[in-house]
Chains A and B, each alone.
Chain A
Amino acid sequence: MESFVNAIVSGLISGSLYAVMALGLTIIYGISRVFNFGHGVVALIGAYIAWAILQNLVFSTATYIVGIVVSMVFLSGFGYLLYLLTIGPLLRKPGWEISTVLFMLGLGIMLENIILQIFGPRIKSLPIFVSDHFRLFGVRVNWHDLVILVLVILIVIALNYFFKATKTGQAMRAVSQSVEGANVVGININWIFGLTFGLAFAVTGFSGVMLGTKYYLDPHIGWDWMVIGFVIVCFGGLGSVSGAILAALILGIIEALSIVYFGSVWVWPIWFVIFVIILLVRPQGILGGRS
Chain B
Amino acid sequence: MLDVKGVDSYYANLHVLEQISFNVEKGEKVALFGPNGHGKSTLLKTICGLHPAKRGSVIFEGQDITSSPAHKIVEMGIAYIPEERYLFTDMTVYENLLMGAYTPKAKGKFQENLSYVYEIFPRLKERKNQITSTLSGGESRMVAVARGLMSEPTLLLVDEPSIGLSPSMRKVVFQSLESVNREKNITILIVEQEIRDALKLSERIYMLKKGQIIFERTAEEADVKEIEKAYF
A-side residues, CB < 8 A to B, are: 167, 170-171, 173-174, 177-178, 180-189, 289
A170 to B100, CA, bound (A): 11
Assess whether B87 is interfacial by the CB under 8 Å rule.
yes
Contact status A181-B50, CB under 8 Å:
no
B82 adjacent to A184 (CB under 8 Å) = yes
The CA of A180 and the CA of B99, in the complex, are separated in Å by: 13
The answer to whether B69 and A188 touch across the interface, beta carbons within 8 angstroms, is: yes
Is B203 interfacial (CB-CB < 8 Å)?
no
> Bound state CA distance, A120 and B230, in angstroms?
75
From 83 to 137 in chain B, residues with beta carbon under 8 angstroms from any chain A beta carbon are 84-91, 95, 98-100, 102-103, 106
Q: Which residue of B lies closest to A190 (CB)?
A: B69
- Given A173-B91, A181-B88: A188 and B50 interface contact (C-beta under 8 Å): no
Check A170 against B71 for contact (C-beta < 8 Å). Answer: no
Instruction: Find out whether the CB atom of A186 lies under 8 angstroms from the CB atom of B71.
Output: yes
Contact B95 A188 (CB under 8 A): no
Which among B50, B91, B98, B102 is the interface contact of A186 at CB below 8 angstroms? B102
Q: A171-B102, A174-B99 are in contact. Are A184 and B80 (CB under 8 A)?
A: yes
For A186, the chain B residues whose CB sits under 8 A away are 70-71, 74-75, 102-103, 106, 151
Contact of B87 among A167, A181, A187 (CB under 8 A): A181
Do A185 and B99 contact each other (CB < 8 Å), given the known contacts A177-B90, A178-B89, A180-B50?
yes
* Contact sample, A vs B, 16 pairs, CB 8 Å cutoff: A171-B99, A171-B102, A174-B88, A178-B88, A178-B89, A181-B99, A182-B99, A184-B48, A184-B148, A185-B74, A185-B99, A185-B150, A186-B70, A186-B151, A187-B71, A289-B90
Contacts of A170 in B (CB 8 A): 95, 98-99
Q: Is A187's CB under 8 angstroms from B86's CB? A: no
Shortest CB-to-CB span from B135 to chain A, Å, is 14
Let me know if B50 and A184 touch, CB within 8 A. yes
CB distance from A200 to the nearest CB of B (A): 19
Point out the residues of chain B lying under 8 angstroms from A177, CB to CB.
87-91
Distance of A165 from chain B, by nearest CB (Å): 11
The chain B residue sitting closest to A167, CB to CB, is: B102
Residue of A187, A189, A289 with highest tally of chain B CB at under 10 A: A187
Q: Verify if B209 is at the interface (C-beta below 8 Å from A).
A: no
| B contact residues, total (Cβ < 8 Å) | 30
CB-nearest residue of chain B to A184: B80
Provide the residues of chain B in CB contact with A188, threshold 8 Å.
Answer: 69, 71
Q: Which of the residues B69, B71, B86 comes within 8 Å of A181, measured between beta carbons?
A: B86
- The reply to whether B69 and A184 form a contact with Cβ atoms under 8 Å apart is no
Neighbour of B82 across the interface among A171, A180, A187, A189, CB < 8 A: A180
Residues of A within 8 A of B201 (CB): none
Known contacts A180-B82, A180-B84; A185 and B90 CB within 8 A of each other: no
Q: Does A183 lie within 8 Å of B50, measured CB to CB?
A: yes
Q: Which residues of B contact A182 (CB under 8 A)?
A: 88, 99
- Closest Cβ of chain A: how far from B194's Cβ, in Å? 22
B102 touches A185 (CB 8 A): yes
- Report the separation of the CA atoms of residues A203 and B71 in the bound assembly, to the nearest whole angstrom: 28
Of A167, A174, A184, the contact of B79 (CB 8 Å cutoff) = A184
List the 9 shortest-distance A-B pairs measured between CB atoms, nearest first: A186-B74, A181-B86, A180-B86, A177-B88, A186-B103, A188-B71, A178-B86, A183-B70, A186-B71
Residues of B within 8 A of A173 (CB): 88, 90-91
Q: Does B141 touch A at the CB level, under 8 Å?
A: no
Report the bound CA distance from A186 to B144 in whole Å.
14
Q: B40 in the interface, Cβ–Cβ < 8 Å?
A: no
Chain A residues, Cβ within 8 Å of B50? 180, 183-184
Closest A residue, CB atoms, query B103:
A186
B148 vs chain A, min Cβ distance (A): 7
What's the minimum C-beta distance from A182 to chain B, rounded to whole angstroms?
Answer: 8
Q: A184-B86, A186-B102, A186-B103 are contacts. A174–B70 as well, Cβ < 8 Å? A: no
In angstroms, Cα B92 to Cα A177, docked, is 12
A180 to B44 Cα, complex, angstroms: 14
A residues in contact with B106, CB < 8 Å: 186
Bound-complex Cα distance A246 to B193 (A): 48
A199 → chain B closest CB, angstroms: 19
